[in-house]
Amino acid sequence: MSGTHKDRILEVCLEELLSGQSPPDLTDRVLRAAAARRVAVNGTHGQKSVTIPPSPVGSGQAAGGGVSFKAPEITAPIVTVAAATNVASRYQQRRRNVLPWMLAVVVAASLLLALGIFLNRGDNAAPVAEQPKPPVEGKATPRLAQDPPAPSTPETMPAPTDDSQLENQAPVVVKIAPANDGANAPDEPAPEAVAVAERTLATPDAEVVAFIDAEIRKAWQAAAVGSSPEATDSEWCRRVYLDLLGRIPTIDELQQYARNRTKDKKEKLVDELLSSDRYAEEYARNWTTIWTNSLIGRSGGANNNSIANRAGMQQYLRRSFQRNKPYDEMVTELVSAEGSGRPGDENYNGAVNFIADNLQDDATAATAKTARHFLGMQVQCTQCHNHPFNDWKQNQFWELNSFFRQARAMRIGTGDTAGVTLTDVDFRGESGRQPDEAEIYYELRNGTAATAYPVFVDGQKIANPSGRVAAVRRRAELAKFIVRSPNFGQAIVNRMWSHFLGHGFTKPIDDMGPHNPPTHSELVARLGVEFTGGGHDLKRLMRWIVLSEPYALSSTFGKRYKNDKDDPSMGEKPLFSHFYMRQMEAEQMYQSLLVATEADKTQGSYEEQERTKAEWLAQFTIAFGTDEGDEATTFNGTIPQVLMMMNGEITEHAVNVEPGSFLHKLVYESKDRADRLDRLYLAALGRRPTRQEIQAANDLLEARGGDDVAAMQDVWWALLNSGEFIFNR
């Protein structure tokens, strides 16, 4: 079609658009123009006209089933070639002036038409994109730095974007602005005191996992090492149950996973363990145990030297993990909490048990533990001198310590009902005369005194250094500095990686810095950013790690795989070219013994279970009584552990054949010896016996004179004491 006819169609479109008429059916107009041109080219003359009937598309439903526009019959004049030439010359000059913006307007009109059809497609329409959820009360609401105006009609809504395109885009930086409903809580700072934090939009999990795998492989190539083969299904399944739930899987759980033939079976199992109601209680119990031991120790709240209430700490953590509380929110509560740490009290707040149990000696323990747990920094040795190996100075320790000087803890109750209350009170400074400055003093190595005020580790100062609570709550300000620090995300990434892979990116995991660089610096930095940008979601961080390639590798390694040098137990830096086999923690062993022997099915309430477990674990815990509350466990292959496993109460209960016991049901409910042996191995080791093991069991049965019960007891005892049962592999 000639440029003249193109211009005519554009002008008609423009005229109808500017005059408020409905957008034209472009297909119909093109057909008419083409028909008119054919008549002109065939040599028809005069004022004769041709009536062109409405097109099929215009008269009924539009192609594809959408809403259509009714097109009336149009009488098109017969246009000759000469007439067309005259029209072209008449519009040539106007074309140069108006064509660019006409094109823009018509393209916009066409887009609006297409979008209108899309939004009115009735039953065959695609699902409407999910509308943004209203902001949760008290939470920051993400906003783009330059928000477009909110759409007021369906026609102004943006077209849906293909998800595959989103995954390939670079992360978009957004600003998190504090929500402000005009009424601040009494203990919360004014909105203007809350700095705007920049975060990246959550990256798809698959992209993060792929980045982990790429960075780990890059380190293998740099070190010229190979990697072990992938772990078997049973090995990986047993591993992920131990690390996420703190116990081995049951026979039914193992078999259910083995029967799953889908390609995404790992993703499905991880999502079920992390998110389903079926495992919610076990997930919360396991991580409550891990974090209770980390924050107040295995002996915390269990001896006279501790004023923490263990039940209160556990209840707070359990509720936090049950609702998947964001990590930054949880740490803010742990650092700044006030109230009673004892459950049942009117002002109960279990989070206080962390700080309250560490306020001795001018809160030096609280200072050191807060830095270690939440920033991955060991600062305790700088109380008396500058750090010999890094840039940490003595003044920085005492400046950090200044944030805790308003906190006061008081023991309440005695015995099993003992607890503690924690509150912030006015701190008038160590001189007692300057509450508006509230200074503290510390001694330099030359014997002179120096002064310190609240300053964060990166040099940031609080706006008001006053010690008056009405003016500023120092611990609340410290919590803000912590969760906004780049060290915050990297510290929890390092700690979690160590939990799942057996070794962190640094050794020790809570001593990060230029003096102790991580083995995979880019990976730590990226995961820290992704964790922060994803809303500090601990479950997502766990998911990334357990679905990564290094977590899926076999624990077998050696020269045949070219990774025999990747052995951190020999002092080498970990390359994660194979899974590092490690012994179960005492709590994992306890829960696994209960599951393997099905004793968990006869347990009492949650409180009764925890009390029984605490009594069992107490035999392995040794508290050193240092200023930092250090403790150790003898559950690491020592004689007490061996004796317990061989002759302890749980093992003795596991091998008895009393009615209702695991062995009683196994022996008397199944007459098939091969099936019995299979179930023993599956329950303990997560696999079936080998030919050699079957032969050994037959030899044992013969030695027992054909006594099936005695033979099964011997095999079961041997399996529970085997290294294959005791180790996470």
pLDDT at 304: 67
Helix axes 708-720, 662-669, angle to 10 degrees: 140
Q: What is the DSSP letter of 686?
A: S
Domain contains 286: no
Phi/psi at 173 (5° precision): -85, 130
pLDDT at 637: 65
Domain contains 168: no
Domain contains 715: yes
Phi/psi at 516 (5° precision): -140, 70
Residues 462, 438, single domain; the answer is yes
Domain contains 663: yes
Residues 178, 40, single domain; the answer is no
- Helix (H/G/I), strand (E/B), else coil: 64: coil
Bridge partners (DSSP) listed for residue 180? none
Residues 459, 509, single domain; the answer is no
Residues 602, 468, single domain; the answer is no
**Closest CA relative to residue 529, chosen from 220, 298, 199, 239:** 199
**With contact defined as beta carbons under 8 Å apart, do 411 and 418 qualify?**
yes
pLDDT at 234: 96
Give the contacts of 513 (CB within 8 A, at least 6 positions apart): 377, 390, 391, 392
- Helix (H/G/I), strand (E/B), else coil: 395: helix
288 to 282, 285, 333, 623: CA distances (angstroms): 10, 5, 16, 20
Domain boundary (484, 508, 525) is at 484
**Closest CA relative to residue 364, chosen from 469, 465, 440, 462:** 440
Q: What is the mean pLDDT of each run of 10 residues along the chain (729 residues)?
A: 45 46 44 44 38 35 33 34 36 41 45 42 37 37 32 33 34 30 35 33 90 98 98 97 97 96 97 97 96 90 81 96 98 98 95 94 92 89 56 81 95 81 95 87 85 93 93 97 97 98 96 91 97 96 98 97 95 96 91 86 74 75 55 67 76 82 83 90 94 93 89 91 92
Maximum distance among all alpha carbons in the chain?
Answer: 120
Domain boundary (484, 501, 526) is at 484
Domain contains 151: no
Domain contains 535: yes
Residues 594, 711, single domain; the answer is yes
Domain boundary (465, 484, 503) is at 484
By 3-state DSSP, what share of the chain in percent is helix, strand and coil, each rounded to 5?
A: 50, 10, 40
Q: Count CB atoms within 10 A of the CB of residue 90.
A: 11
Q: What is the 3-state secondary structure (H, E, C) of 482-533?
A: HHHCHHHHHHHHHHHHHHHHCCCCCCCCCCCECCECCCCHHHHHHHHHHHHH
What is the residue whose two structure tokens read 């799942």?
Answer: 500
Residues 686, 668, single domain; the answer is yes
What is the β-pairing status of strands 339-340 and 197-200?
A: unpaired
pLDDT at 97: 45
Give the contacts of 566 (CB within 8 A, at least 6 positions apart): 223, 225, 557, 572, 574, 575, 576, 577, 578
Backbone torsion region of residue 82, taken as left when φ is above 0, otherwise alpha when ψ lies between -120 and 50, otherwise beta = alpha
Q: What is the distance between the alpha carbons of residues 455 and 472, in angstroms, rounded to a whole number?
A: 14
What is the residue whose two structure tokens read 């943004």?
Answer: 132
Bridge partners (DSSP) listed for residue 631? 623
- Helix (H/G/I), strand (E/B), else coil: 632: strand
Helix axes 205-223, 538-546, angle to 10 degrees: 50
Exposed/middle/buried for residue 537 (C-beta within 10 Å: 0-12, 13-18, 19+): middle
Q: What is the DSSP letter of 556?
A: -
Residues 562, 614, single domain; the answer is no
Q: What is the distance between the alpha carbons of residues 367 and 361, in angstroms, rounded to a whole number?
A: 11
Give the contacts of 83 (CB within 8 A, at least 6 positions apart): 40
Residues 391, 508, single domain; the answer is no
Task: Identify the domain containing residue 108 by its residue range.
Answer: 3-124
Residues 546, 618, single domain; the answer is no
Q: What is the distance between the alpha carbons of residues 354 and 337, in angstroms, rounded to a whole number?
A: 9
Tokens of 664: 């009683």
pLDDT at 190: 33
Q: What is the 3-state secondary structure (H, E, C) of 152-208?
A: CCHHHCCCCCCHHHHHCCCCCEEEEECCCCCCCCCCCCCHHHCCCEEEECCCCHHHH
Residues 547, 630, single domain; the answer is no
Bridge partners (DSSP) listed for residue 633? 621
Backbone torsion region of residue 178, taken as left when φ is above 0, otherwise alpha when ψ lies between -120 and 50, otherwise beta = beta
Residues 86, 107, single domain; the answer is yes
Tokens of 247: 């116990």
Helix ranges (DSSP H) in 224-356: 233-245, 251-259, 265-275, 277-296, 310-322, 327-336, 352-356
pLDDT at 630: 59
Number of domains present in the structure of the chain: 4
Q: What is the pTM of this model?
A: 0.72
pLDDT at 556: 96
Domain contains 327: yes
**With contact defined as beta carbons under 8 Å apart, do 156 and 150 qualify?**
no
Residues 114, 235, single domain; the answer is no
Q: What is the DSSP string of 321-377?
A: HHTT--HHHHHHHHHH--EE-STTSTTB-TTHHHHHTT-HHHHHHHHHHHHHHHH--
Domain contains 142: no
Q: Count CB atoms within 10 A of the CB of residue 726.
A: 17
Tokens of 312: 């209160």
Amino acid sitting at position 322: Q
**Closest CA relative to residue 202, chosen from 167, 177, 152, 235:** 167
